[in-house]
Structure 1
Amino acid sequence: MVIQRLLGKRDLLVPYFKFRKKLQNDLQSALLNEIFALRYEVYCLECHYLPPEEFQNGLESDEYDACSVHFAAFTLDDMIIGTVRLVQPADKQIYPFESHCSVFDGYVMPPREQASEISRLVVKKTHRRRRGDSMQGISESFAKNGKTAAIQPHHGGDRRKGNSPMLLLGLYREMYRHSRQNGIRFLFAAMERSLARSLDKMGFRFVPIGPQTDYYGPVTPFIVDLDELNERLTRENKFLAAWFNDEPIPMSVIIKTLAESLWDKWTKKNLP
């Protein structure tokens, strides 16, 4: 098929990125040094969320890194461009979001062994393609007009120059696969509501579990149920569901998905 000849063995959705994972309890590694350096660049030097003088070695890390699984995105020539971690606190240790957010009265937390928190999600500034892109790489265009059905297999051209949230989607896929393989059903995240809306358009329906608070800007604590996510993707976007679950994607699904994408673009272009 034309798609396969164009991409070879590369991923249908993220052909220009590759991903790596670092498990818990080993903080001495070249990969983690790259992750901590990117976090220092974004959190300390660019956004000024944390004081640079507290990290003399140029590596931003904290007490949660030892109980986290770390994920990193790289270009094909091995430059780190994004990172995120899943935090599973040790016994009697709170989740990071609990240090600055509260939950609604009556909210019952899920079992700790079934939950993790998404934390320290950043994309390198060079891979936020447009001026209005968020720190996580979401473009203003996708935030306003994107939808789950618009996430399509790559079919030629250079999506590296586009404004679709594919890098972020790839990081979320890595977290999703790790969680499903390790009995994690629920993911917490403290984030801006605009990011939650964008993630909802990508298939991740985060539900607020507490009020908005000010923590380096307005953030709200959310939770996503991965069982519900999988059901939603299977219902709304079979291509994306198979891609997330590392299942073979039938060619009929790829063709149908591309056809729907082309039809959607044609109608938008030709309708008054």
Structure 2
Amino acid sequence: MLIKRLLSKRDILVPYFNFRKELSGNIESTLLKEIFQLRYEVYCLECHFLPTEEFKDGLESDEFDECSTHFAAFTMDNQIVGTVRLVQPSSDLNYPFEGHCSIFEDYVMPARETAGEISRLVVRKSHRRRRGDSMEGVSQDFREKGNAASIHPHQGGKKRDGNSPLLLLGLYREMYRYSRKNGIRYWYAAMERSLAKSLDKMGFRFVPIGPQTDYYGPVTPFVVDLDELNNRLHKENKFLAAWFNDEKIPYNVIIRTMIGSFWQMVKKKK
């Protein structure tokens, strides 16, 4: 089954999802309406972060959507199941996190054209595998036990009890590839420390740049350097490094990754 998938045109790690993006400026697109509907479903109806009466059309959007690149994940039958945006505001508009977070006095922000903020990251409830999964699709099992080495090709199949947040990884990969092609080196994000810890296990070392604050729950402003991410992945997980950079993944790297994951599972069971 694995060999068959390797030889097919489907993605080796997320074969049952496809991803699309919408560039800033096309605010009336059909794709954006689907994205705004999903955000309304999660932020307004499910989590009650935002009042439903402010979005009578059932589309959650704000002033940052026009200066964002939007990414979405779809099932093979074209149902939208996840979304995230990368915000790059003009000089007369702050990043979203600056509206509710403060930063350390000694932190120097990089040039605006080299940075964007990860924002409005959500996964549809039907695609969070278990009770206790985060809004972003990270399972409780992965938060407690997972690491980058546990992410391997086998978990791209239909197996539903895997502990790797593949849908989240797919969205991050799309943002990563877009960022590398467009001169974006740094990502900001205001998020819970538990999510930052989970992302660190996948290779994304988010560094806090300010104190924790209360914004629909406790969040901390972070930054990640994509150059450091790329170097770290090439050292710690060559499979993910190749997958993120759209490089051909050698068979020996796939086999080593799977063997390493197998021994990790054996150790956990002891």
Q: TM-score range by the shorter chain?
A: over 0.9
Residue in structure 1 matched with residue 184 of structure 2 by the alignment: 184
Residues 107-143 of structure 1, C-alpha deviations (whole Å, 9 max, x = no match): 1101000000000000000111111000001111100
> In the aligned structure 1, how far is the partner of 2:174 from the partner of 2:214?
29
Residues 11-43 of structure 1, C-alpha deviations (whole Å, 9 max, x = no match): 111111110000010111110000000000000
1:162, CA displacement in angstroms? 3.2
1:154, CA displacement in angstroms? 2.3
> In the aligned structure 1, how far is the partner of 2:92 from the partner of 2:263?
53
Residue in structure 2 matched with residue 166 of structure 1 by the alignment: 166
Residue in structure 2 matched with residue 237 of structure 1 by the alignment: 237
RMSD: 1.3
Query: Is 1:39–1:120's contact at 8 Å kept on the other side of the alignment?
Result: yes
1:104 paired with 2:104, answer yes
Query: Is 1:104–1:210's contact at 8 Å kept on the other side of the alignment?
Result: yes
> In the aligned structure 2, how far is the partner of 1:156 from the partner of 1:41?
26
1:160, CA displacement in angstroms? 4.0
> In the aligned structure 2, how far is the partner of 1:156 from the partner of 1:230?
22
SS of 1:110's partner is coil
Query: Is 1:104–1:209's contact at 8 Å kept on the other side of the alignment?
Result: yes
Letter in 2 for 1:35: I
In structure 2, relative to structure 1, the CA distance for the partners of 1:100 and 1:155 (3 Å cut) is: closer
> In the aligned structure 1, how far is the partner of 2:72 from the partner of 2:156?
25
In structure 2, relative to structure 1, the CA distance for the partners of 1:27 and 1:190 (3 Å cut) is: same
> In the aligned structure 2, how far is the partner of 1:99 from the partner of 1:156?
38
TM-score (norm 2): 0.97
TM-score (norm 1): 0.96
1:3 paired with 2:6, answer no
Q: How does 1:19-38 map to 2 (within 5 A)?
A: 19-38=19-38
Unmatched segments (≥5 aa) in structure 1: none
Query: Is 1:6–1:156's contact at 8 Å kept on the other side of the alignment?
Result: no
Query: Is 2:36–2:60's contact at 8 Å kept on the other side of the alignment?
Result: yes
In structure 2, relative to structure 1, the CA distance for the partners of 1:108 and 1:157 (3 Å cut) is: closer
1:161, CA displacement in angstroms? 4.7
Residues 198-222 of structure 1, C-alpha deviations (whole Å, 9 max, x = no match): 0000110000000000000000000
SS of 1:159's partner is coil
In structure 2, relative to structure 1, the CA distance for the partners of 1:157 and 1:231 (3 Å cut) is: closer
Residue in structure 1 matched with residue 49 of structure 2 by the alignment: 49
Residue in structure 2 matched with residue 147 of structure 1 by the alignment: 147
Unmatched segments (≥5 aa) in structure 2: none
1:155, CA displacement in angstroms? 6.5
SS of 1:35's partner is helix
1:258, CA displacement in angstroms? 1.1
> In the aligned structure 2, how far is the partner of 1:41 from the partner of 1:185?
31
Residue in structure 1 matched with residue 62 of structure 2 by the alignment: 62
Number of positions where the alignment pairs a residue of Structure 1 with one of Structure 2: 269
SS of 2:137's partner is coil
1:106, CA displacement in angstroms? 1.7
1:163, CA displacement in angstroms? 3.7
In structure 2, relative to structure 1, the CA distance for the partners of 1:130 and 1:251 (3 Å cut) is: same
Query: Is 1:16–1:160's contact at 8 Å kept on the other side of the alignment?
Result: no
1:92, CA displacement in angstroms? 1.4
